[in-house]
Amino acid sequence: MSRMKGVRARLSAILRPRAAEARMEEEFHFHLEMEIDKNLRAGMTPAAARRRALIAFGGLDGHREAMRDGRGALLAGDLGRDLRVALRGLARNPGFAAVAVLTIGVGVGATTAVFSAVDAALLRPLPFAEPDRLVELDKVNIPWQGEERPTDRPHITDVRALTDTFTHVAAYAPGGMNLSGLGTPRRIRVGVVTPNLFATLGVPPLLGRDLTADDEVPGAPRVALVSFGLWRGAMGADLDIAGRTIMLHGHTHEVVGVMPRGFAFPDEAEVWVPMSVPWTPDLFDAFRGSIPKRLVARLASGVTVEQAGARLRALLAAYDERPDRPVEATPAELVRPLHASLVGDGGSALLVLLGATALVLLVACTNVANLLLSRAVARRHEIALRAMLGASSFRLIRQLLAESILLALIGGAAGVAIAVMGAQLLDTLVPSALSGAAPIRVDTRVLGFALAVAVTAGLAFGLWPALAARRTRAVGALEGGGGGSGGDNATSRLRRIFVVAEVALALMLLIGASLMLRSLHRLLSTESGVQPQGIATLELTLAEADYPTAADRRQFYEALQDRLRRNPVVEAVAAINELPLRGVAPRALWVYPEGLMPERERWRAAQELRVTPDYFRAMGICILEGRPPGPRPAGTEVGEVAINEMLADVYWPGQSPIGARLQMPNDMVWEVVGVVSNVRPGSLDEAVIPQAYYSLLDAPYDNAALVARGRIPAAELTGVLQQAVHAVAPGQAVYNVRTMEEVIAGAIAPRRTRTALITTFGLVALCLAAVGVYGVIAFGVARRTREIGIRLALGANPGRVIGGVVAEGLVLALAGTVPGLAGAWLLSRFLDSFVYGITTTDPIAFTAAPVALLAIATLAALVPAWRASRVNAVEAMRVG
Amino acid sequence: MVRESRSEVLRGTIDLLVLKTLALEPTHGWGIGQRIEQISAGELLVQQGSLYPALQRLEHAGLIASEWGPSESNRRARYYSLTRAGRRALEQETESWRRFAAAVEVVLETS
C-alpha cells in the first residue's frame, strides 16, 4: 500500500514536471522564510538574516539539480541540456565532428537512397484505389475484328462475364506516337487503354470526363485524355478544355479529359487513347509489330486471388483444344496481384543492394564507434572528475549517448541530402513496368526510415564507448600522463576487434564489387557483332495519315538516305526496321529452305530484319559471303535475303547457301544473296539467334531506325541525322536520338547502375577500413613512443621498427580477411542473378579483392610506422 | 532501505534520522532539520538543503507520505509523515544501526 503511494508519487513527478518544480520551489521558499524568521528573532538585521539563511541552506541550484536528478532522467529539460552540452563539445572539436558526421552521412545516405528505391518498387502501395484488390490476368486474349473466334483461349468478353469474380476487367498497352500541333513534333508515350481502365484502377480524371464505351466503337470521333504535365505545359493549364485537340500520328484527337497530377500509368504515359475491343488495325499506330497488352482486373468483394485463379483456370479448361490434355497453367500463374506482377524479378535485385548498403552502414558505424572510443579515452579525466563530483553513472552515460545521438542526427541529415541527390540516379533500378506508377521519392516514409537508421546507429556506436568510459577507474584516470595516450587494455582490445570487423565487412563488399566488375567487363567484351564506335542512330514512326501507301514510305526512306549520302561527313547511312542491342526482345518468323516445308519440326524462326543495302557497312557487320539484299527486281516474285552465320549453319552446314531459296509459310520466297556475321539481337547478354535480312524498300515499314557512320564524332552525327529528317519531312517526329554506344549502354543500364553502386560501396568501405587500421596502429605507436625511442637510441634498426609496426597492421588486416572471405563465400549466392560469364565464387575476384585490401592496409600502417622510426629518443623520454 | 549508492553510510544515516523524527510527529522539511538539531543538542547539523533530496527519495520509496497543510505562521507548507512501510523500515534500520555501532565498539575496545 505504501509502496503504491511511493510509485504514484514518482510517476506524478515524472508526468507533471512543472507541478513538481513548483512544489519544490514552494518548499524551498517556505524553508528559507522560516530560517530568516528564526534569524530575525535572534536579532539579526533583515539583510544579515537573509544572507545567513541562504548560507545555511547551501547551494540552491545544487539542491535543485539533486532533486531533479532524483525525479528521473526522462524530463525533456534534462535531455535538452545534455544535447546543448554535447553540441558545445562537438564545436570544440570540429575536426573530429566533421569526420564522424561525414562517415555517418555516407552510411545513412547510401542506405536511405537504396531504401527509397526499395520503397518505391516494393513497399509503397500502388497509387490506385484499394490496390491490393487489383490483379493481372494471364492467358486471356483480345480478338481482332473480323477474326474467327479461336478455340484455345478465353476472350476478355468471357472473363468480363464472370461478374461474381471480377467487378472490372480492363486492358492496357504502353506504346508511342508522334505528337504534333503543339510546338515541335515529338514522340510521346501513349497508353492505349480500354475505356474502363481508369474506373478499374479507381483513378477518375481531374478535369473533363473519363473514356466511355462509345469512344471505343470503331469509327467514333477520336478522343484522348492527357496527363497533368502535358495539360499544364502544352495547354497552359486552361480549365476550359472544351474543343481542345491534339494531333497524334497525323490524326486529330479531341481532348476530353485531364488525369490527376502524378498519374502516369503505364510506363510514364502522357496521353491515353481508347482501345477498341475487338482490336482494329489502326491500333498498330502506337506499336511496332506486336501489341504488349496486359489485362488488369479488380476482384469482387470477398473473392481471394486464389479463388479468382481457380475460376479463370476453369474457364481456360473449357476452351482447351485438346480436352484430354490438362491445362498447363496453375491458378497462381493465371491471376497474380498487380503489384507483384509489375515488379517481376526486379525486387530481389533491390533487396540485395539493400543488404550491401547495410554492410556499408555497419562499417561506418564501427568506424565512428572507434572514433568515439578514442575520444572517450582522451576525456577520461573529465569523466572521472564528473563522477567524483557526484554525477551518477546513468547521467554520464546519458551525456555520452547524447553526443552520439547528436552526431547521428547531424550525420543523418547529411545522409538524407546525399540520398536526395542519389535518388535520381537510381531510377534505372526500379522495374520498368512500374515506372510511371512508382517514381522514386524521398517522402515522409523514407525520411522516417533515415531517422530510425540514424538514431539506431547513434545508439549502437555510442553505447560501447559510453560503457567503456564508465568503467574507467577514477583514481587511475586522474593521475598519470598525457591526454591521448593510455586507456586500459580492454579499450585497446575493443578497438582492435572493431577494426577487424570493419576489414571483414569491407572485404565482403570488395569481393562483391569485383564479381560485378568482372561480369560487366565480360559483358562489354562480348562480341556484339557490330562496331558501335562512331555510329549515330535515331528512330521514327511514319504516321499513316502522312504516308498512306508503301510507295510514300519508300520515297521517304530513299529521299532521306540520298540527302545524307550527299553530306561529306557521312560515310555510310542506312535504315533498319529494328535496331539491334536496344534491349527489346526480337521478333522472329518461321523460314525454311524450299522443299523443307513438310518437316515442320525442322523449321527454325529467324529474326525478321528489313534493311537498306548500306546497313552492314554502316554498322560494321562483316559480310562473310555475297552481298547485301536489294529490292526485288522487277518482273520476279523472288526477293533477296541475306542470312546470318547461324541460320546458314542450321540449314546448310558446311556448304555455301548462296543461291539457295528460303520460304515462309505464306508461300513468299527469297533467294539467299549473302551471309553476314551474327549480331546479338536484344542485349549483350542474350544468345545469338538465326537472323534474316530482307530489303526494307520491298516492304517499307512505318517504324524504322536510321543509322549512320561518319567522319565526325557520333554525338555530332546525331544532329546531322536530325537535321536531315527535318529537311526531308519538317513535321516528322524523331525519338531515341543517340549514338550506338548509348543504345548498347542503355540496354544494360540497370546492370551498370548496380555495378557502379556496389563498387562505390566497396571503395567507401575500403577507405573506412583503411582509416580504421591507421587509427589503431597510430594509437598503438603513440602509446609506445617512449619504448620505441629508447630502442632507437640504443641502436635498433629503424627498418625493423617500421617492419614491426607494419606487421601489426597486417596481422589486423589478415584477421579480418579470414571472416571476410568466409562471409563473402556464404553470401555470394545472392549475387547469382547479378553475375555474367563467371561463377559467384570466381577465384580471380576472391583473390584480387583480398590482395587489394591487404595492400591498402599495409599502406595505412606504413604512415605511423614511418613516423615511429623517426621518433626522437630524447623527446620521447621527456614525454613520459 | 532505499536504493544505496556511493556514500552509503552517510545517506543511510540521514534517512534514519528523518524517519525517527517523523515517527515522533509529522512535520515539514524545515521542522525536521530543526528538530534533529535540537534533539541532538547541536551535535548533528544536517545540511539543510540536502534534506529535500532525501525526503524525495524516501517518498518515492513509499516510506513517507506528504501533503500540504498550514504552518505555525499560517503559511502553506508540505507536511511529511511516516507510512506503515516507513515504520517497519525504521525498526529494521534502528536494529541494524545498533548492531553496527556495537561491533565498531568491540573492535575499538580490543587494542
Residues on chain B touching A31 (C-beta within 8 angstroms): 29-30, 48
Q: Of A72, A89, A122, which residue constitutes the final position of a domain?
A: A72
Nearest neighbour of B52 by CB, restricted to A9, A27, A34: A27
Of B48, B62, B84, the CB nearest to A31: B48
Residue B26 is classified by DSSP as: -
Contact B50 A63 (CB under 8 A): yes
- Cβ within 8 Å, pair A30-B49: no
Range of the domain at A49: 2-72
What's CA A464's distance to the chain center, in Å? Answer: 33
Distance from CA of A489 to the nearest CA of B (A): 26
Domain identity same for A502 and A566? no
Contacts of B56 in chain A (CB under 8 A): 13, 67, 70-71
pLDDT number for residue A470 = 64
The alpha-carbon gap from A18 to the nearest alpha carbon of chain B, in Å, equals 16
Give how many domains chain A has, as a whole number: 4
Please report residues of B whose CB lies closer than 8 A to that of A58: 47-50
B66: chain A residues, CB-CB within 8 Å: 9
Residue at which a domain ends, from A45, A72, A99: A72
CA distance B9 to chain A (A): 16
A320 and A430 belong to one structural domain: no
Chain-chain contact of B85 with A33 (C-beta, under 8 angstroms)? no
* β-bridge pairing A294-299 and A134-137: antiparallel
Q: Exposure pattern of A70-94 as b/e (b: 16+ CB <10 Å)?
A: bbeeebeebeeebbeebeebbeeee
The verdict on A485 and A556 lying in the same domain is no
Contact A35 B59 (CB under 8 A): no
What DSSP character marks residue A155?
A: B
- Residue ranges of alpha helices (H) inside A16-45 are 17-41
Question: For chain A, which residues score pLDDT lower than 50?
Answer: 73-74, 473-476, 478-486, 880
Query: Residue A6 and residue B73: Cβ atoms within 8 Å?
Result: no
pTM (two decimals): 0.73
Same domain, A797 and A860: yes
The per-residue b/e assignment along A243-279, b for 16 or more CB within 10 angstroms, e otherwise, is ebbbbbbbbebebbbbbeeebbbbbbbbbbbbbbbbb
Q: Are residues A161 and A277 in the same domain?
A: yes
- CA distance, residue A382 to nearest chain B CA (Å): 19
* A31 Cα to chain B: minimum distance (Å): 5
Which residue of B lies nearest to A29 if distances are taken between CA atoms? B77
B52–A24 CB contact, under 8 Å: yes
- Alpha-carbon span A792 to A801, nearest angstrom: 8
| Mutation for B interface: A3, A23, A26, A31, most B CBs within 10 A | A31
Asked if the structure places residue A540 within a domain, the reply is no
* A745 part of a folded domain: no
Mean pLDDT of B66-95: 90
pLDDT at B6 over 60: no
- Out of A9, A30, A63, whose CB is closest to B59? A9
Q: Is there a contact between B49 and A62 if contact means CB atoms under 8 Å apart? A: yes
Per-residue pLDDT, A820: 93
Inter-chain residue contact B30 with A67, CB threshold 8 Å: no
Residue type, B105: E
Mean pLDDT of B62-89: 90
Whether residue A626 is found in the same domain as residue A700: yes
Alpha-carbon distance of A373 to A1, in angstroms, equals: 46
Q: Answer whether residue A334 is part of any domain.
A: no
Question: CA separation (Å) from A20 to A214, A255, B76?
Answer: 74, 68, 16
Q: Which residue of A has its CA nearest to B71?
A: A30
Across the interface, whether the CB atoms of B65 and A26 are under 8 A apart is answered no
For B60, the closest of A9, A35, A62 (CB atoms) is: A9
User: Under an 8 Å CB criterion, which residues of A touch B?
Assistant: 1-7, 9-10, 13, 23-24, 26-28, 30-31, 33-35, 37, 56-60, 62-63, 66-67, 69-71, 392
Q: Which amino acid is at A76?
A: A
What cell does A396 get? 554520464
Fold of B8-109: Arc Repressor Mutant, subunit A (1.10.10)
Question: Which residue in B has a C-alpha nearest to residue A64's C-alpha?
Answer: B53
Of the residues B19, B30, B78, the best mutation for testing chain A's interface (the one with the most A CB atoms within 10 Å of its CB) is: B30
Measured CA to CA, the distance from residue A627 to residue A640 in angstroms comes to 10
Domain identity same for A442 and A365: yes
CA distance to partner chain B, nearest, from residue A477 (Å): 18
d(CA A653, CA A645): 10
Note whether A640 and A721 are same-domain residues. Answer: yes
Contact assignment for B48 to A56 by CB distance below 8 Å: yes
**Taking CB atoms and an 8 Å limit, are A10 and B60 in contact across chains?**
yes
Q: Is residue A258 part of a domain?
A: yes
The answer as to whether A537 is a domain residue is: no
Domain assignment present for A737:
no
CB-CB: which of A2, A10, A69 is closest to B85? A2
Q: With an 8 Å Cβ cutoff, are B56 and A60 in contact? A: no
A404 and A496 belong to one structural domain:
yes
Task: Looking at the complex, report in whole angstroms how far the Cα of residue A63 sits from the nearest Cα belonging to chain B.
Answer: 6
pLDDT of residue A485: 42
CA distance B109 to chain A (A): 33
A35/B52 Cβ within 8 A: no
Three-state SS at A766: helix
From A33, A57, A69, residue closest to B75, measured CB to CB: A33
Check A9 against B63: CB less than 8 A apart. Answer: no
Interchain CB distance below 8 Å, B49 and A33: no
- For an interface test with A, the pick among B48, B51, B83 (most A C-beta atoms closer than 10 Å) comes out as B48
Please report whether residue A121 resides in a domain.
Answer: no
pLDDT reported for residue A488: 62
Final residue of a structural domain among A328, A363, A383: A328
- In this structure, the answer to whether residues A370 and A433 fall within a common structural domain is yes
Q: At A540, phi and psi to the nearest 5? A: -150, 160
- Which amino acid does the sequence have at A199? A
Task: Give A333-352 pLDDT, tens digit per residue.
Answer: 889 999 988 888 788 888 88
Statement to judge: residues A357 and A318 lie in one domain: no
Q: Do A71 and B56 touch (CB under 8 A)?
A: yes
Which chain A residue lies closest to B30 (C-alpha atoms)? A31
What are B101's three cell numbers?
555501532
What does the pLDDT look like over A598-654, one tens digit per residue? 777 888 889 999 999 999 999 999 999 999 999 988 888 899 999 999 999 999 998
**A279 assigned to some structural domain:** yes
* Contact: B52, A1; criterion CB under 8 Å: no
Q: Which residue, among A682, A619, A625, has the nearest Cα to A649 in the 3D structure?
A: A625
From chain B, which residues contact A within 8 Å (Cβ)?
Answer: 5, 28-30, 47-50, 52-53, 56-57, 59-63, 65-66, 71, 73, 75-78, 83-86
Residue of B nearest to A13 (CA): B60
Residues of chain B found within 8 Å of residue A66, distances taken between Cβ atoms: 50, 52-53
- Are A360 and A453 within one domain? yes
Task: Please tell me the distance from the alpha carbon of residue A269 to that of residue A260, in angstroms, as a whole number.
Answer: 13
Q: Which three cell numbers stand for residue A356?
A: 550491401
Q: What is the per-residue DSSP string for A774-805? A: HHHHHHHHHHTHHHHHHHHHTT--HHHHHHHH
pLDDT reported for residue B47: 77
